[in-house]
Amino acid sequence: MKNNFLFLFFAILWSLGMEAQPPAPASPIPQHEATDVSVSPVLSWSVVNWNPTCRYDVYLGLSPSPPLKFENLKDPQVLVTGLLADVKYYWYVIVYDSGYRQAFSPLWSFTTRKNPVLPLINHEYTYYPNESILTYNVVGNLDAGENGPNAIWDFSNLTVASNYQEIKYLNPSATPFVGGFPMSNVALKDELNQYHYFRYSNDGIQKLGIGTGVSSTIYTNPETIITYPFIYDSEFNDTYTGIGGNTNRSGVSYGTADAYGTLLLPGGNVLRDILRVKTESAYFDYYEGLVKGTSITSYTWYQSGSKEPVFKFEITTLSQNGTPYLNTKKAWMTKTATSSPNDLELNNKTSILNPVKDKIQILGLENYEQYRFFIYSMNAILVNSGQASPRIDVSEISSGMYIIELRNKKNEVIFRSKFIIQ
């Protein structure tokens, strides 16, 4: 009788322990057997009746028995970097509760994209006479950010001026200094009323000199602005010389496509697969015993399919006889880049109620089952995802500004909007 009682007692304890076992992780992002996945993906999963005391171990590798990659994670997601392109990866998750009971997810897999879809800058990105770019000045805590692959540049907190400027490319024959630049086929007038003369070709862009006031500086050895084609890790080095009046100029220039990644712009736009080109130019003007130096470092961000650069940041330092006396920073973004993140819409009636408290309410969307939602923080980290519905629960997400995307079954983004959780 006593043995029966003990058996029943331990059977009850065992059954209670089984009932308390945490549910297995499910609903992986990327989805099982997904293809064309980023080489720096955010892996995420869901757990029914999620408990904040749970912890997660993630196993990830190239074989169906992957090694431990991350352990003791507090959140059901993790950013992975440094994956190989065009490779199939296997992964699974183990969840632990406070009683060290555990549950295993199924074995999942995904295949990374072959190569980032990055711009290849060539003569098609060149501007010719009578073409122009509309730009908006950007102010704030300006910093060029990181270089290398899969960079994230967060300019979302910068302020955009309400008025735009027009950068207009001119026919040299319509400018006052054309006589000194017979090989120029494009001219540009800047905000200081200086005329810059260029030679555009299928091989790149060369600067032939500059005209200002009543004189001009003619480059006897032209300055290389860029060479074509230009892709990630491309670079060029050049030296140039010029003569103008009583001034002799000598300079060096260097350029490289030093980074690609994700660009977060003021206004909420998040642009992915962006190529950044860094150029450095330093020249010295020698006249009347003085040496005046000018150093310009510029960063320009390009997007595939857009002739206009989307963002530019420039640092200029002036010196005299080796002593710097002025340092300036300026940035601008093009009118194309200032378009609202709401321009990706299913139709004119699709919208969300903003701000949000506990749930995102999507208006004007039909056939919800055809779409999945993805919520990103303003630094492009995936916060939540799942099946779209009229009201999406965000009660577990911290207050702040976020971006929601809706994607169809082909994983195409068909709606994007910035929203605020109060």
57: domain CATH number?
2.60.40.10
Residue type, 84: L
Contact of 90 with 83, CB cutoff 8 Å: no
Residues 205 and 61 in one domain: no
Average pLDDT on 131-140 reads 84
Residue type, 195: Y
Q: Does residue 17 carry a pLDDT above 50?
A: no
Q: What CA–CA distances, in Å, run from 400 to 2, 26, 51, 77, 357? A: 60, 27, 23, 19, 11
The pLDDT-based confidence of 379 (bands split at 50, 70, 90) is: low
pLDDT given at position 18: 47
Residues 256 and 160 in one domain: yes
Q: Does residue 360 carry a pLDDT above 90?
A: no
Q: Is the pTM of this model over 0.85?
A: no
Q: Which two tokens stand for residue 113?
A: 């994209």
Q: Residue 184: count other Cβ atoms within 10 Å of its Cβ.
A: 23
- Given 112, 146, 175, the domain boundary residue is 112
How far is it, in rounded angstroms, from Cα 422 to Cα 405? Answer: 19
| Phi-psi map region of 279: left, alpha, beta (phi>0 left; psi -120 to 50 alpha) | beta
Buried b (16+ CB within 10 A) or exposed e, 309-324: bbbbbbbeeebeeeee
**H or E element that contains 199:** strand 195-201
Q: Residue 19: count other Cβ atoms within 10 Å of its Cβ.
A: 7
Supply angle C-alpha 106, 111, 116, rounded to 5.
Answer: 145
pLDDT given at position 276: 94
Residues 199 and 139 in one domain: yes
Give me the domain span that covers residue 104: 2-112
> Please, is 247 exposed, middle or buried when counting C-beta atoms within 10 Å of its C-beta (0-12, 13-18, 19+)?
middle
Q: Give per-residue pLDDT as tens, 61-82.
A: 999 999 999 999 988 888 887 7
Average pLDDT on 162-186 reads 89
Q: Tell me which residue of 310, 4, 14 sits closest to 153, measured CA to CA.
A: 310
With respect to residue 118, please indicate whether it lies within any of the assigned structural domains: no
Domains in the chain: how many in total? 3
Residues 186 and 291 in one domain: yes
With respect to residue 79, please indicate whether it lies within any of the assigned structural domains: yes
Residues 17 and 98 in one domain: yes
3-state percent helix, strand, coil for the chain, nearest multiple of 5: 10, 55, 35
Mean pLDDT over the full length of the chain:
83
Residues 161 and 271 in one domain: yes
- Given 66, 87, 112, the domain boundary residue is 112
Which carries the bigger pLDDT value, residue 415 or residue 59? Answer: 59
